[in-house]
Amino acid sequence: MTITALPEIPAGTDDLSIWPASTTRLPHGGLAVGGVSLAEIAERFDTPAYVVDEGEVRERCRTYRAAFPDSPVLYAAKAFLSRAMVRWIRKEGLGLDVCSAGELELAVTAGFPPERIVLHGNAKSPRDIETALRLGVGRIVIDSPAEIARIAASVGPRGHQKVMVRVVPGVSAGGHDKIRTGTEGQKFGLSLTDGGAQHAIAKILGQPQLELTGLHCHIGSQITEVKPYVVALRRMVGLMARVRDAHGIVLPELDMGGGHGIAYRPGEPALDLTALARKLRTELAESCAAARLAVPRLAIEPGRAIAGPAGVALYRVLAVKHTGEKVFVAVDGGMSDNPRPALYGVRYAPRLVGRHSTAGVRTATVVGRHCEAGDVLAADVELPADIHPGDLLAVPVAGAYQLSMASGYNLVGRPPVIAVHEATARLLVRRETLDDFRSRDVGD
């Protein structure tokens, strides 16, 4: 199909600001992403389905490399990982941050260099550690005192492994309590306040087979302000100076994690990447100068900010129900393919695609098909008043923490992932089927 974009519609009447940059309007209310009609994707691959714009992913990788030219940029695999994503990340020169043996093995078997991978996790299993050591992962981030002895024992007396320590800097940041990880009282990291981080550092330095390369911190997710990162960095440099004074070593690396916020609806704030890069570099140089400390190599770990805006979720309307003054638009997916609204209260901006409506708008709540009252995908959003079963809804900013958090609830099956690029659509991850569920159920 030849894609012909329509003339621009005046700003404010049809906002595509949060959609992939390749998005174009088509006749009769359609949209194309990566040169491919979303309606045609729905017809070819069925719904629900995830669409990922390869060009958007790769351009966002390049934007990060330009903003942090002298820093390792590690893509956070937990946001979304597939073999194709691994190849895109590798080709754009990024490293990888993984949280399990599964993510690690997928990346390495897809051709990603293990020395450019960092393994995280607050409770690494024996399999996680064994896999990391067997494959030669670049760094293991230690998250608890017990891991030190376990990793050292697994390495063996003649082995060698580079490690970092995850530090809780006492900084509150993030879009929701459940995704704030820089403060006391949550499961991640070792406290700067109670001395846990300092104790772990001393213990690691007593293990000759472990090489402490630096410190790591991750203060939260969906952060849209630069200041919390600056405060956290200042405290991390202070700890590095104390490590030098106490142990006579200068740590060469400082990983400031990710959590870079993006807009899920038009008008919402997003983290200013240029400002972040500039202020982190300035603060790092000034803090190190004040402490008479050599400037460590800065690393960052974006995930959502690379994958999120590149994804679009497609749903087919199954029912429209009027209950009192409420209008519910039920679709063929829901919390099994996107649990984030139920977990964090995330707000999305669904849009009718595939036909042009001349009706006015009405406020409606888009709900899923699952047997939970909390199965709400988008509450109180504006949709055409004539929306009806069979209509196609597209939800932008669906590339992160959807498939990676999807479940098998109600045995609905997880949706496929379709990549679009240069007017071509191709299947990356197939739809989960009843046969998949049956093959795992080995009981009688």
- Phi then psi for residue 22, to 5 deg, are -80, -5
Domain boundaries, the chain: 24-52+309-439, 54-307
Which CATH number applies to 24-52+309-439: 3.40.50.10490, 3.40.630.30, 3.90.600.10, 2.40.37.10? 2.40.37.10
| Strand partners for 168 | 191
**12, amino acid identity:** G
Average pLDDT across the chain, whole number: 92
Q: In whole angstroms, how large is the CA radius of gyration of the chain? A: 23
Fold of the domain spanning 54-307: TIM Barrel (3.20.20)
* Residue carrying structure tokens 């709400």: 376
What does the block give as tokens for 259?
């959590």
Distance (Å, whole) CA 6 – CA 27: 7
pLDDT by 10s per residue, the chain, length 444:
344 444 333 333 479 999 999 999 998 889 999 999 999 999 999 999 999 999 999 999 999 999 999 999 999 999 999 999 999 999 999 999 999 999 999 999 999 999 999 999 999 999 999 999 999 999 999 999 999 999 999 999 889 999 999 999 988 655 544 444 445 566 778 988 888 999 999 999 999 999 999 999 999 889 999 999 999 999 999 999 999 999 999 999 999 999 999 999 999 999 999 999 999 999 999 999 999 999 999 999 999 999 999 999 999 999 999 998 899 999 999 999 999 999 888 899 999 999 999 999 999 999 999 999 999 999 999 999 999 999 999 999 999 999 999 999 999 999 999 999 999 999 999 999 999 999 999 988
- Give catalytic residues, as residue numbers: 371
Alpha carbon of residue 230 to chain centroid: 21
224-228: long-range contacts, CB 8 A cutoff, minimum separation 24: 224/175, 224/261, 224/269, 224/270, 224/271, 225/173, 225/271, 226/271, 226/272, 226/275, 226/276, 226/279, 228/171, 228/172, 228/173, 228/182
Distance (Å, whole) CA 400 – CA 396: 11
Asked whether the domain spanning 54-307 has the same topology as the one spanning 24-52+309-439, the reply is no
Look up residue 116 and give its DSSP letter. G
Distance (Å, whole) CA 280 – CA 81: 28
Q: What is the pLDDT of residues 244-286, one digit of tens each?
A: 999 999 999 999 999 999 999 999 999 999 999 999 999 999 9
> What pLDDT was estimated at residue 184?
57
CA torsion, points 53, 59, 62, 67, in degrees to nearest 10? -120
Alpha carbon of residue 123 to chain centroid: 20
**362, amino acid identity:** R
